[in-house]
Chain A
Amino acid sequence: MAVKTERQAAWLLVAPVVVLVAFNALIPLMTVVNYSVQETFGNNFFLWHGLGWFQDVLRSERFHAAFGRQMLFTGLILLIEVPLGVAIALAMPRRGPLVSVCLVLMALPLLIPWNVVGAMWNIFALPDIGLLGRTLNGLGFDYNMTQDPLSAWFTLILMDVWHWTSLVVLLTYAGLISIPDAYYQAARIDGAGAWAVFRHIQLPKLRRVLTIAILLRFMDSFMVYTEPFVLTGGGPGNSTTLLSIDLVKIALGQFDLGPAAAMSLIYFFITLLVSWVFYTLMTRHDPS
C-alpha cells in the first residue's frame, strides 16, 4: 500500500509539468494537426480532407521554390558564417585588456532586436539615402535592393552575416580558450606550424562547440522570419520569400488554414530531420 501511495504522490508532483507542456506544446501542435487534415469554411464547420493538403503542398511549385530559396539562404550563411567566425575567434587576443573590448564588440549585434536589425539594414541599403546603397552605386555597382533580386539577396546575406557571425565567434572563442597550454607547447616542441596546430589541435578540440554553433545557426536561419520580412518583405517579386514568409502569406494573407497547417508540419519535420542528421553525423566519432 505504501508503494502505491508514493506513486500517486509522484503523479501529483509531475502534474504541473504535464499541464505546462500540454498548453505550451501539445495543444497548439494538435490544433495545427487538426487544421491540416480538414477543410474549414468558418463558423467551426469542418470537413475531413485526409492527407490532401499535404499532397497539395508537397506537389506545389510555390513550395518547392520557397524551399529552394530557404536551402540556398541557409547554405550560404553557414558557408560564410562558420569559417568567418572561426577565423575571427582565432585572431582575437587571448589575454590582456583587449579581450573585453573584443567580446563586447562581438556581443553588440546579438543584442539588437531582430526587427530593428531589419529596419536598420533596410535604411542602410536604400539606394538614394542609405550609406551602403549610396556607396555601392557611387562605386559604379548597379545596386537596388527593391528592384533587383541579386541586390536583395546580397543585402539579405550580408545582414545575416553581420547579425549572427558573432554567435559563432563567441562559441568558438570559448572553445579555443579552454584548450590547455600544454597542447600548444607540445606542438611547438614537435615543430608544428600554424596550420598543423589548427588542423590537429584546435579544430579537433573545437568539434563539439562547432557542432553546437552549426546546429544553432542552421535552425535559426532555417526558421528566420523577422529580419528578411522587415528588410525586403519577400521581394522583389518572390525572390527573397523564404519558407516562413511564404507560410505567413498563406496562413494570414490568403487565410488558407488547411494548406498552411500542412505546410507548418512539413516545415517542422524538415527542421527536425536535418538537425538530427547533422547532429548524428557530427557526433558519430565522439569517443565518449
Chain B
Amino acid sequence: MARISLQDIRHSYQTIVAKAAEYALKRVHLEWQDGGAYALLGPSGCGKTTLLNIISGLVAPTEGRVLFDGRDVTTLPPEQRNIAQVFQFPVVYDTMTVFENLAFPLRNRHAESSRVDARVREIASLLDLDGLLGRRAAGLPPDLKQKLSLGRGLVRDDVNIIMFDEPLTVIDPHLKWQLRSKLKELHQTVRTTMIYVTHDQTEALTFADQVVVMQAGEVVQVGTPVQLFERPTHTFVGHFIGSPGMNVLPCEVSDGTALFRGQPVPTETPAKAPADATRLELGVRPEHIRIAPDTGSGDDGIAVDIVRVADAGRYRVVEAMAGDHRIHVLTREDADTPLGPARLQVDPSRTRLYVDGWLADGADTGRA
C-alpha cells in the first residue's frame, strides 16, 4: 500500500532530445492517494503505457522522480518496488499448475511453505479459482488467465500498487463486464492502490474513482467520472469522453457574448477571450441541446439543417449541419425529429468557452 507521487516526469525514447515533440511524456505531475482506484485513459500512443512502465520500474524516466510513500524509487528495478502488473496479453507460466503459478512470487521470495499454501488458497477463493488449483495454467481460457496473473500480484501482501495495462483486450465481450465488476469488487475488498490503463472510456469510468485523461504525452484532466462528463477542462476530454462526444464549435467573442456563425450563443459565464488567444471554441454536449422548430424569427437558437437521425436504442442521435459544422444532439427515443431546417437551443449552464483548447473560466480546471 502506498501513496504515489510522480514529480515532473518527462520521458523520451530518444537518447538526445531536440524537440519537445520527441518527448513521449511531456511533463507529468501527479499525486495518487493510498488505496485509490485510478484509471489512465487516453488514445493509443498518448503515453499512458510509458507512464505505467515508469511507475513499475520497467522504464526509467529521462527526468523527474517517482516516490512511493515519500521514498524515492526512481532508480529501483521492478522487483524491488513491490508492485504487481497485469499485462494486456495474459502472462501465465504454462508448465505450472494454477497453484504453482500463484505460489511462484512467494517461493521466489523464500516464503515458508505453510504460509505459501494458506495465502494461495486465500487468494484463489477471492478470485473464484478454488476449484482450479490443480489444473495446468496453459489450458485456461483468457479470462481465467488474466485472473491468475492478477492473483500472482495479490498473493504478496507487501504489494504497493497493482497495475493493469489494458487487461481486457483479449477477453470476450460478454466476460468483460463480469471481470470488470469483479475488479471493482476486489478493490473494495483489498484496498490496494490500483492503476488501470485503458483507451476504453467505459472501462475507465466504471472502474476508477479518479480518471487521469492523457493526450499526446500530457495529462489534460484529472477528475471523477462525473467531473469529466460535466465539466471537461479541455475540448479533447469533452470529445474523447461521451458517445458521441462534446460538440466543439468555432466562435468569436464580442462584448461578453460568444458568436457562432454570427449568432449569439448563451454561455455559463460571460465569455471573455484573452487578447493572445488563437483559437476560440464553444463546447456543448449532445445531451444539453434542445431541438426547436424553425420559426424564422432569427434569435431562437442556432439555425441548422437536420440531415440524419440514428436510433441508438434508448436514445436517438440527431445530426444537424450548421453550414459546414456538424452538431450532434441526443433526443429521447420517442421524440419525433423531422429532417430539414430547425433551431438548436443550448443549455446555457452547460455551454462553455474554450480558449486554445482549454476551458476559459479558469475555475476548477482540475489540472495537476
Contact = CB atoms under 8 A, between A and B. Distances in A.
Given A190-B108, A193-B108, A287 B138 contact: yes
A230 to B, nearest CB: 43
Interface stretch (B16-24, B29-37, B92-100): B92-100
Interface in B75-117: 77-79, 83-85, 87-89, 91, 93-96, 104-105, 108-109
Given A188-B77, A188-B78, A190-B105, A182 B89 contact: yes
Nearest to B53: A185
A204 B79 CA distance: 23
A197 to B, nearest CB: 10
Contacts of A287: 138-139
Main secondary structure of the interface of A (DSSP, over half): helix
B58 interface: yes
B108 A185 contact: no
Contact of A189 (B78, B88, B89): B78
B201 interface: no
A203 B93 CA distance: 11
A190 B106 CA distance: 8
Given A182-B87, A193-B108, A188 B93 contact: no
B108 A200 contact: no
Contact of B105 (A180, A191, A200, A205): A191
Size class of the A contact interface (CB-based, 8 Å):
10 to 19
A196 B83 CA distance: 19
A186 B87 contact: yes
Nearest to A199: B95
Contacts of A190: 104-105, 108, 152
B198 interface: no
A132 interface: no
Contacts of B96: 200
A95 to B, nearest CB: 13
A129 interface: no
A182 B91 CA distance: 7
B108 A192 contact: yes
B233 interface: no
Given A200-B96, A204-B94, A287-B139, A189 B108 contact: no
A193 B79 CA distance: 10
A211 to B, nearest CB: 15
A182 B138 CA distance: 16
Most buried by B among A186, A188, A192, A205: A186
B56 interface: yes
A183 B90 CA distance: 9
Interface string A186-223: 10111111001000110111000000000000000000
A185 B109 contact: no
A186 B109 contact: no
B208 to A, nearest CB: 22
A121 B162 CA distance: 59
Contact of A196 (B84, B108, B153): B108
B149 interface: yes
A232 B94 CA distance: 46
A191 B139 CA distance: 24
Contacts of B56: 185, 189
A189 B79 CA distance: 5
Nearest to A286: B138
Most buried by B among A185, A189, A196, A204: A189
Contacts of A189: 56, 78-79, 83-85, 105, 153
Contact of B91 (A186, A191, A196, A203): A186
Contacts of B105: 189-191
Contact of B108 (A182, A191, A203): A191
Contacts of A192: 104, 108
Contact of A191 (B79, B85, B87, B94): B79
Most buried by B among A182, A190, A203, A205: A190
Nearest to A196: B108
Given A191-B108, A191-B109, A193-B108, A186 B149 contact: yes
Nearest to B94: A204
Contacts of B94: 204-205
Interface string B113-143: 0000000000000000000000000110000
Contacts of A186: 85, 87, 91, 149, 152
A286 to B, nearest CB: 9
B102 to A, nearest CB: 11
Contacts of B89: 180, 182
Interface string B144-178: 00000100110000000000000000000000000
A193 B105 CA distance: 11
Nearest to A182: B87
Interface in B45-79: 56, 58, 77-79
14 contacts: A180-B89, A182-B88, A182-B89, A185-B85, A186-B85, A186-B91, A189-B78, A189-B84, A191-B108, A191-B109, A192-B108, A193-B108, A204-B93, A287-B139
Interface of B: 56, 58, 77-79, 83-85, 87-89, 91, 93-96, 104-105, 108-109, 138-139, 149, 152-153
Given A186-B85, A189-B153, 16 more contacts: A182-B87, A182-B88, A182-B89, A185-B87, A186-B87, A188-B77, A189-B56, A189-B78, A189-B79, A189-B84, A189-B85, A190-B104, A191-B108, A192-B104, A204-B93, A204-B95
